[in-house]
């Protein structure tokens, strides 16, 4: 059967057909199942060293298992000796135990990408996530008996995935949020508690209006004119910091927050986040829906998505 595209894009489309569908596999545990799936891809697509690829999958799965919905696992790895991003799907009506999953896994989608494919896995994930989000999709696929029927649910003119990766596919929830009515004291408490160097500030509607940074707080204590002095040793007891301590509860974030920050719309292409981070030399890009804060893309996580996932 000809290979079809999971994501409908022309740039190195993932390889997948009914030959890469396994219904009710006999494997009794996750490792055995993943071995069977890797070998299925190897026999269909060709692979230099299937056992090495399996070791990479098991290592990646043990370090950071991915479950995109209850009962749906997406193990993956970058491997040598494979020419294109390849997918194998296993349907398990009775479920199988995967470490890290709160419930038995009934649908496994294995993704193998070449070492030099920076977005192959992300594109498959983007397409799969949109399919999985459809009400009843998982139960419908799990109930199917024929590989061709399962493959058709992921492929075909009517159901072909849109694999374009958007900023929304990379973002995570903000680990902390402050309100513009919060005080500097509350900002300091949040920085100390979370270890974050900057925290988004929103108004009562949830619109992003600024960023409270540890650097800005430091700037209150050591204003620029003090930095002109060649010798700050006379402040060895941190007197400027004591001044802030006296007024931290009555100084508002609206007075010190920064309104110049990296931000992009959630439905922008993922590369827009990279551009915003690079252009502003920022560590965090804020993701918006209109003016409302929807999530964040941190530079370390972005690099992980592109170079390691």
Are 182 and 51 part of one and the same domain? no
- The residue-averaged pLDDT of 56-85 equals 90
Asked if the structure places residue 171 within a domain, the reply is: no
Are 125 and 193 part of one and the same domain? no
CATH of residue 216: 3.10.580.10
Q: Residue 259 is part of which domain span?
A: 178-307
The pLDDT confidence band at residue 264, using thresholds 50, 70 and 90, is: very high
The pLDDT confidence band at residue 142, using thresholds 50, 70 and 90, is: very high
Are 142 and 222 part of one and the same domain? no
Residue 178 vs residue 227, higher pLDDT: 178
Last residue within a domain, chosen from 162, 188, 222: 162
Asked if the structure places residue 196 within a domain, the reply is: yes
Asked if the structure places residue 101 within a domain, the reply is: yes
Are 127 and 203 part of one and the same domain? no
The pLDDT confidence band at residue 13, using thresholds 50, 70 and 90, is: low
Asked if the structure places residue 26 within a domain, the reply is: yes
Q: Do residues 36 and 22 make contact, with C-beta atoms less than 8 angstroms apart?
A: yes
Q: What is the pTM of this model?
A: 0.73
Q: Check pLDDT > 70 for residue 70.
A: yes
Are 50 and 198 part of one and the same domain? no
Are 56 and 132 part of one and the same domain? yes
Q: What is the DSSP string of 233-252?
A: GGGTT-HHHHHHHHHTTS-B
Most confidently predicted of 105-119, 222-236, 244-258: 105-119
Asked if the structure places residue 173 within a domain, the reply is: no
Asked if the structure places residue 271 within a domain, the reply is: yes
Last residue within a domain, chosen from 138, 162, 186: 162
Please give the Cα distance from 190 to 253 (Å, whole number).
Answer: 13
pLDDT at position 125, please?
84
Q: Where are the alpha helices (DSSP H) in 119-166?
A: 120-132, 137-143, 147-154
Are 13 and 157 part of one and the same domain? yes
Are 61 and 201 part of one and the same domain? no
Q: In degrees rounded to 5, what are phi and psi of residue 240?
A: -60, -30
Report the domain count for the chain: 2
pLDDT at position 171, please?
92
CATH of residue 119: 3.40.930.10
Averaged confidence pLDDT in the chain: 84
Are 188 and 48 part of one and the same domain? no
Are 261 and 143 part of one and the same domain? no
pLDDT at position 32, please?
93
pLDDT at position 223, please?
55
Please give the Cα distance from 185 to 259 (Å, whole number).
Answer: 19
Asked if the structure places residue 169 within a domain, the reply is: no
Last residue within a domain, chosen from 112, 134, 162: 162
Q: Check pLDDT > 60 for residue 295.
A: yes
Residues sharing a CB contact under 8 Å with residue 46, sequence separation 6 or more, in sequence order: 82, 83
pLDDT at position 136, please?
92
Asked if the structure places residue 234 within a domain, the reply is: yes
pLDDT per position as a tens digit, 163-216: 678 899 889 999 999 999 999 889 989 999 999 999 999 999 999 999 998 888
pLDDT per position as a tens digit, 276-293: 999 999 999 999 999 999
Query: In the chain, what percentage of residues exceed pLDDT 90?
Result: 49
Are 276 and 127 part of one and the same domain? no
Q: Check pLDDT > 90 for residue 305.
A: no
Residues sharing a CB contact under 8 Å with residue 2, sequence separation 6 or more, in sequence order: 17
* Alpha-carbon torsion, ordered 242, 245, 246, 247, to 10 deg: 130
The pLDDT confidence band at residue 127, using thresholds 50, 70 and 90, is: confident
Are 27 and 153 part of one and the same domain? yes
């Amino acid at each position: 059967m000809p290979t079809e595209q999971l994501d409908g894009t022309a740039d190195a489309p993932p390889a997948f057909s009914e030959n890469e569908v396994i219904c009710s596999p006999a494997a009794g545990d996750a490792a055995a199942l993943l071995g069977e799936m890797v070998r299925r891809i190897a026999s269909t697509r060709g692979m230099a060293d299937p056992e090495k690829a399996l070791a990479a999958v098991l290592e990646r799965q043990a370090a950071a298992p991915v479950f995109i919905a209850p009962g749906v696992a997406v193990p993956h790895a970058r491997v040598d000796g494979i020419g294109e991003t390849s997918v194998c799907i296993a349907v398990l009506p009775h479920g199988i135990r995967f470490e890290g999953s709160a419930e038995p896994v009934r649908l496994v989608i294995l993704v193998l990408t070449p070492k030099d494919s920076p977005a192959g896995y992300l594109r498959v994930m983007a397409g799969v996530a949109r399919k999985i989000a459809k009400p009843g999709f998982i139960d419908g696929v799990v109930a199917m008996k024929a590989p061709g029927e399962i493959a058709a649910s992921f492929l075909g003119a009517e159901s072909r995935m849109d694999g374009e990766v958007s900023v929304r596919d990379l973002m995570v929830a903000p680990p902390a949020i402050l309100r513009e009515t919060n005080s500097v004291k509350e900002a300091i408490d949040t920085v100390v508690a979370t270890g974050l160097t900057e925290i988004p500030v929103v108004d009562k509607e949830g619109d992003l209006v600024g960023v409270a940074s540890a650097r800005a707080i430091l700037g209150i204590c050591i204003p620029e004119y003090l930095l002109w002095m060649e010798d700050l040793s006379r402040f060895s007891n941190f007197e400027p910091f004591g001044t802030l301590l006296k007024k931290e509860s009555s100084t508002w974030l609206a007075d010190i927050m920064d309104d110049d920050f990296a931000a992009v719309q959630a439905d922008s292409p993922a590369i827009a986040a990279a551009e915003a981070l690079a252009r502003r030399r920022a560590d965090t890009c804020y993701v918006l829906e209109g003016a409302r804060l929807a999530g964040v893309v941190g530079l370390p996580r972005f690099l992980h998505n592109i170079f390691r996932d």
